[in-house]
Amino acid sequence: MKTRLLILGLLLGNYCLSWGQTNMQDQADAWWAEAQKAYQEERYADAIEQYEKINQSGLADEALYFNLANAYYKSNQVGNSIYYYEKALLINPKDEDVAANLAYAQKMTLDQAVTPLAPTLGTAMVRSIVQWNPAYLKYGAWLGMWLFVTFAAIYRLGGTARLKKWGFALATLSAITGFLSFSAEYLRDHWTSKDQPAIVFGVVSVREAPAVSAPELFPLNEGTKVQVLEELDGWGHIALADGTQGWMELSGLKKLRELPE
């Protein structure tokens, strides 16, 4: 009885949530239409405004980031443009449109493109782990656990030997699936917290140490992509694609995994 109530409650909650979402979706659709129109009519500032509204509402997808980046590119805002192209690539690293337009935006940056280090087996693995979708992993974990219990019950109550055999095998498989999904998410979370790509905004100085008085190693211009390795009192230990490292103030960059305020 209790379980039934709980399930009912969950369903109801889910329903309310989805109702709220539909409302939001409708609003977002309206903004989207407006933004698309503005972009087509080359009113890029208006387009940015509408796309940003959707972004601020917490809804997003690759297309939104791509279109927003395009609008920023057309308004010559190189930093924001690259930022949103890269965000779109985080969702779908294989999108050709994004890659093509990102190349355009990168031509606007003042820094010479650096030759990135060849990815090692480890970094390639980490890169693919980071790409896993947490939603799928979550449903995988849940489904695995529920199936495990179901098959365990079948095994226990199974009338025939065959039923018991299958119940046992499937219960084991489900349990493994559930735990693998969970640990995969653990891994993903761990590596995602380590993978902190960010885009430089404005002109910043990369220094030897996290202090204003530390000698400057090199300047970075808007639009450069860096990896934040560590953070200390508003300073970030950053690495460029070619492996060059240094410290810069975190106020001069925007992390790609950051959610809109």
Cα angle, residue 85 at apex, residues 52 and 251 outer, rounded to 5°: 70
Residue 69: other Cβ atoms inside 10 A: 26
| Contacts for 116 with CB less than 8 Å, ≥ 6 apart | 241, 242
Half-sphere exposure of 11 (CA within 13 A, CB side): 6
Residue 89, interface with other proteins (CB under 8 A)?
no
What backbone phi and psi angles, to 5 degrees, belong to 168? -65, -45
SS3 at position 247: strand
Inter-CA distances, 239 with 127, 183, 194, 229, Å = 16, 29, 13, 7
Residue 132, interface with other proteins (CB under 8 A)?
no
Stretch that binds other proteins, among 94-102, 117-125, 162-170, 208-216 (CB under 8 A): 94-102
Per-residue interface string for the shown chain with other proteins, residues 163-182, x marking contact by CB under 8 A: ---------------x---x
Inter-CA distances, 152 with 143, 157, 159, 166, 172, Å = 14, 9, 13, 10, 8
Nearest residue (CB) to other proteins, 22 versus 123: 22
CB of 174 to other proteins, least distance (A): 10
**Among 111, 168, 245, 254, which residue interacts with other proteins (rule: CB under 8 A)?**
111
- Amino acid at position 183, single letter: S
Count residues binding other proteins (CB under 8 A).
64
Inter-CA distances, 220 with 98, 112, 127, 205, 224, Å = 23, 10, 25, 6, 7
**Among 54, 198, 240, 250, which residue interacts with other proteins (rule: CB under 8 A)?**
54
Residue 58, interface with other proteins (CB under 8 A)?
yes
Residue 135, interface with other proteins (CB under 8 A)?
yes
CB of 120 to other proteins, least distance (A): 25
Nearest residue (CB) to other proteins, 119 versus 251: 251
* Alpha carbon distance 53, 144 (integer Å): 38
**Among 84, 109, 207, 246, which residue interacts with other proteins (rule: CB under 8 A)?**
109
Residue 44, interface with other proteins (CB under 8 A)?
no
Stretch that binds other proteins, among 152-160, 208-216, 228-236, 244-252 (CB under 8 A): 152-160
Tell me which DSSP letter residue 207 carries.
E
Tell me which DSSP letter residue 162 carries.
H
Residue 140, interface with other proteins (CB under 8 A)?
no
Binding site for other proteins (CB under 8 A): 3, 6, 10, 21, 25, 28-29, 32, 36, 39, 54, 58-64, 66-67, 70-71, 73-74, 76, 78, 97, 100-101, 103-104, 106-113, 133-135, 137-138, 141-142, 145-146, 148-150, 152-153, 156-157, 178, 182, 185-186, 188-189, 192, 221, 259
